[in-house]
């Protein structure tokens, strides 16, 4: 079950990155924060 959760979280973060690239309303600091969060979740 833990593996499933990790996969879901990874997919969600990838979707977030795609949104950030596609949607101009995301600012660079927010993208950097998301990347920082990713590095904590997926070292």
Residue-number span of the structural domain to which 14 is assigned = 2-41
**Which tens digits make up the pLDDT trace of 1-43?**
567 777 877 777 777 666 656 655 655 666 666 666 666 665 5
Q: Quick one: which of 2, 33, 6 has its CA closest to 20?
A: 33
pTM: 0.29
Note the pLDDT of residue 21.
61
- Number of domains the chain is built from: 1
**Alpha-helical runs (H) found in 1-43:** 2-22, 28-41
Note the pLDDT of residue 43.
52
Residues 6+ apart with CB under 8 A from 41: 9, 10, 13
Decide if 20 contacts 30 (C-beta within 8 A): yes
């Amino acid at each position: 079950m833990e593996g499933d959760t990790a996969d879901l979280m990874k997919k969600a973060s990838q979707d977030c990155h795609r949104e950030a690239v596609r949607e101009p309303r995301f600012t660079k600091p927010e993208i950097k924060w998301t990347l920082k969060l990713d590095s904590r979740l997926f070292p």
